[in-house]
Amino acid sequence: MFSIFRRKKTGGLEKAEVVEKPQTGQDPLEARLGRTRSHLAELFGVVRSASRIDDSLLEDIETTLLTADLGVAATTRIMDKLAEGIKAGVVEKPADVLPAVQAELYALVEPCEQFLAVDTAKKPFVILMVGVNGVGKTTTIGKLARRYLDDGLSVMLAAGDTFRAAAVEQLKAWGERNDVPVMSQGQGADSAAVVFDALQSAKARGTDVLIADTAGRLHTQEHLMAELGKIRRVMAKIDPDAPHEVMLVVDAGTGQNALVQAQQFNKAVQLTGITVTKLDGTARGGIVFAIAEAMQIPIRFIGVGERAVDLRPFDAGTFVHAVLPVE
């Protein structure tokens, strides 16, 4: 158990206890987010060296947030709230600054903490996975499959990435590892047809969860983005509510480009969730705050390692404490 600062509804700050959700075989999250934490830890030096709150201190804080990849919008929001706190007398001295910053970081991401609950009345509950090449989309599918199997659900995978030769084989490998069926066709097949056949099969078998891979595509490739719309339309012929989740996978290491991808994919296919991968290998984890501020879309999972258990449900309090621990 640990505590974080958060805003009171009546104004000012309060300490709130946070209990990290225990998950077998996992390191504490702060052990996996060291690079991002070390970047934001520069705030401690900035504040310690200040004798009073002045323009110079505020500029240094703003610069640190920007270089940690929080982006302009999220940084501006934090700085505006900090200015309000100073004006209201809540933030009076340099020692008050970091609790106030932590509280604003939490306020940014807390609304995006929405766990993806599988509706078992939907058979299957369909998750459509989208994203550009190289972000860890297929790996995320394999880890999700493992999670749902461990929850006692039956799973099927659809190899809808028919453009990349290795994609189908990679998904089949995950299927063999997890002992789940993988519906596929040859390279160059119509992705929509693959997903349609998979949905028909999953429905006939009474499968609980169908996870459909799609071709990695640049958000600038309009013809491929349009194909995602086609996949949604053919699904609707079998189940008008499918897909029940459209999950974008982004790589934290790409920084602000991850936010651009989220905006473009949301425009094309109306995202319902986002997974941010490779947070353990980058100092650019501030992108989580940028995405939360700009998108207000649930952040379902974060990827912090190679193992299946390293795909973790997003917990706002735990994440904020891991990247900026303020006692």
pLDDT tens for each residue of 288-315: 999 999 999 999 999 999 999 999 999 9
Query: Binning pLDDT at 50, 70 and 90, where does residue 18 land?
Result: low
Mean pLDDT score, 89-118? 92
- pLDDT reported for residue 269: 85
Tokens 């013809």 locate to 223
Output the average pLDDT for the chain: 89
Confidence check: pLDDT of 11 > 60? yes
CA distance 18 to 20: 6
47-61 tens-digit pLDDT: 989 899 999 999 999
Rg over CA atoms, the chain: 21
Average pLDDT over residues 168-183: 92
pLDDT of residue 245: 97
CATH class held by domain 2-19+27-112: mainly alpha
Domain boundaries, the chain: 2-19+27-112, 125-314
Least reliable range by pLDDT among 9-13, 20-24, 61-65, 167-171:
20-24
Nearest to 301 by CA among 155, 146, 195, 160: 146
- d(CA 188, CA 190) in angstroms, rounded, equals 7
In the predicted model, what is the mean pLDDT of residues 130-159?
94
Name the class of domain 125-314: alpha beta
Residue 1: what pLDDT?
47
Per-residue model confidence (pLDDT) at position 176: 93
Query: What's the Cα-to-Cα distance from 34 to each of 16, 29, 40, 324, rounded to whole Å?
Result: 23, 9, 10, 10
Tokens of 89: 């007398």
pLDDT for 13 equals 72
Neighbour-count burial of 25, counting CB atoms closer than 10 A to its CB (0-12 exposed, 13-18 middle, 19+ buried): exposed
Closest CA to 102 of 121, 117, 82: 82
- Residue 134 pLDDT: 87
Residue pLDDT, tens place only, 148-172? 999 999 999 999 888 777 888 889 9
Give 267's Cβ-side CA count (13 Å radius): 11
